Amino acid sequence: MVIVRNDSGWVAQIQAADRLSAAQYSAMAEWIAPEPHSTILDIGCGPGGFLPYLADVAPTAHIVAADHDDESLDAARSLVTTLALGDRVLIEHGNVLDPDSQSGPFDLVVTRQMVRHLPDQIDAIRRLAARLAPGGRLIVGEGGLAPHYLPFELGRGTPGLMYRLVTAQAIRYAGMRAELDHPVASRFGWNVVLEKAGLVVEETTSFVWDIPAPVADDARAHIRSTLLRLLTGPTRRYLVDEDVDTLEWLLNRSNPDGIDFRRDVFILGASTLHRCALP
Ligand SMILES: C[S@@+](CC[C@H](N)C(=O)[O-])C[C@H]1O[C@@H](n2cnc3c(N)ncnc32)[C@H](O)[C@@H]1O
């Protein structure tokens, strides 16, 4: 069985992004609009940042949150306890690819940014659809636009660094997929993947993550840690020397034009949700 492990520091990174995503997550949860008294599964829930928003729009629902990563589950458990949601949200260990770890069925299955990590995405979607109760809906959060943080002109290096960082991340992601056990190349965009898995896509829409410049300290800290991960992690090898130099310059804490002082950094991205049903 293939286990995709989260790298070190990843959970904290997702939690920081979650804390900055209230507006986007509220809009997503309102669009999902679960039926009252429904049963909901958030699979690949990570540290659980979306759970409070689901719980908010579905006050009478019973929610199960599952992930195969223990560190993520611990973080989700602690969030649910802090927010006193323990009687409505059950946190459980679950691997989409393991037939023995499947609870359900559920009226609503939600998965965000997980299927992209699995070796055979069509197969993964079929497994998720198999967990739907009759008349249920599967919400798949995949696709959208990678977040941008930097203006086009920085005053150092060739303009357009942010576009090259996004490209480097895409190359790294493709390499990560190729390293999985028995990866099945996906030849299609997400709406077609969902159709090929036997689902009817009822509606697709995208939600912006929009924190305009000038940003507050929490957003600035997230931008810094994201850029630092790009500089020090596996994406670095896909950057040319000049861009590595610009990143180091940006992250230098004593640089008055660096990340810690710039008034022109921002967060702008978009996440797409697909609402699907069985035919
Ligand atoms: C990028 S994170 C997304 C977390 C959360 N859904 C979000 O959008 O913030 C992907 C999550 O999927 C989980 N995951 C990956 N493969 C999985 C599998 N086979 N079964 C269950 N969870 C899995 C990872 O542990 C990780 O927490």
Mean pLDDT over residues 33-48, rounded? Answer: 96
Q: Which atom of ligand 1 is nearest the CA belonging to 124?
A: 19
Phi, psi for residue 239 in degrees, rounded to 5: -105, 145
CATH number of domain containing 51: 3.40.50.150
Question: Could you tell which of 51, 63, 68, 93 is best to mutate to test the pocket of ligand 1, judged by most ligand atoms within 8 Å of the CB?
Answer: 68
Residues recorded for the chain = 279
Span from the CA of 103 to the centroid of ligand 1 (angstroms): 17
Over residues 190-226, the pLDDT tens digits come to 999 999 999 999 999 999 999 999 999 999 999 999 9
Residue 92, beta-bridge partner list: 66
Is there a domain that residue 4 lies in? Answer: no
φ, ψ at 43 (rounded to 5°): -105, 135
2 pLDDT above the threshold of 80: no
The residue type of 114 is M
Say what the pLDDT of residue 94 is: 93
CB of 85 closer than 8 Å to CB of 61: no
Report percent pLDDT > 90 for the chain: 90
* Overall average pLDDT of the 56-67 stretch: 96
Mean predicted confidence (pLDDT) in 133-139: 97
Atom of ligand 1 nearest to the CA of 45: 6
- Closest CA to ligand 1's atom 14: 44
Mean pLDDT for 227-235 is 95
Mean pLDDT of 29-46: 96
187 domain-assigned: yes
What amino acid is encoded at 194 in this protein?
Answer: L
| Helix or strand (DSSP H, E) at 175 | helix 161-179
Whether 1 shows a pLDDT value over 90: the answer reads: no
Residue of 3, 21, 28, 114 with the most ligand 1 atoms within 8 Å of its CB, for mutation? 114
pLDDT of residue 102: 73
pLDDT 10s digits, 156-167:
999 999 999 999
Give the structural domain span for 186: 10-277
Q: What is the pLDDT of residue 3?
A: 38
Dihedral angle sign, alpha carbons of residues 212, 218, 222, 225:
positive
Say how many Å lie between the CA of residue 210 and the centre of ligand 1.
Answer: 23
Task: Tell me the two tokens of residue 233.
Answer: 């992690």
pLDDT score at 7: 60
Which pTM value belongs to this model? 0.95
Distance CA 48, CA 227 (A): 24
With beta carbons less than 8 A apart as the criterion, state whether 132 and 278 touch: yes
Atom 25 (ligand 1) nearest CA: 69
pLDDT of residue 99: 78
The answer as to whether 242 is a domain residue is yes
* Alpha-carbon gap, residue 3 to 118, rounded angstroms: 9
Query: Apex CA 144: angle with CA 139 and CA 148, to 5°?
Result: 140
Residue 1 lies in a domain: no
User: In this predicted model, which residue has the larger pLDDT, 98 or 111?
Assistant: 111
Please state, in angstroms and rounded to a whole number, the distance separating the CA atoms of residues 175 and 172: 5
pLDDT in the model for residue 271: 98
H helix or E strand, kind and range, residue 226: helix 217-232
Lowest-pLDDT range of 5-9, 35-39, 95-99? 5-9
CA distance 274 to 200: 10
C-beta of residue 164 within 8 angstroms of C-beta of residue 239: yes
Within-domain flag for 2: no
Strands across the sheet with 62-67, in order?
Answer: 89-93, 62-67, 39-43, 106-112, 132-148, 267-277, 200-211
**Which comes out higher in pLDDT, residue 104 or 53?**
53
| Domain count of the fold of the chain | 1
User: Residues lining ligand 1, CB < 6 A?
Assistant: 4, 6, 14, 44-46, 49, 67-69, 72, 94-97, 112-114, 117-118
pLDDT level of residue 6 (50, 70, 90 thresholds)? low
Indicate whether 88 belongs to any domain: yes
Inform me whether the pLDDT recorded for 131 exceeds 80: yes
The alpha carbon dihedral of 115, 119, 121, 124 has a sign of negative
Out of 1, 2, 3, 4, mutate this one to test ligand 1's pocket (max ligand atoms within 8 Å of CB): namely 4
Instruction: Kindly report the protein residue whose alpha carbon is nearest to atom 16 of ligand 1.
Output: 4
In the chain, helix, strand, coil percent, each to 5? 40, 25, 35
Q: What is the rounded CA–CA span in Å between residue 274 and residue 207?
A: 11
> How far from 118 is each of 31, 121, 145, 173, 263, CA to CA, in Å?
26, 6, 20, 12, 38
Average pLDDT, the chain: 94
Between 3 and 147, the more confident residue is 147
- Does 5 score more than 80 pLDDT? no
Q: How far apart are CA 245 and CA 157, in angstroms?
A: 8
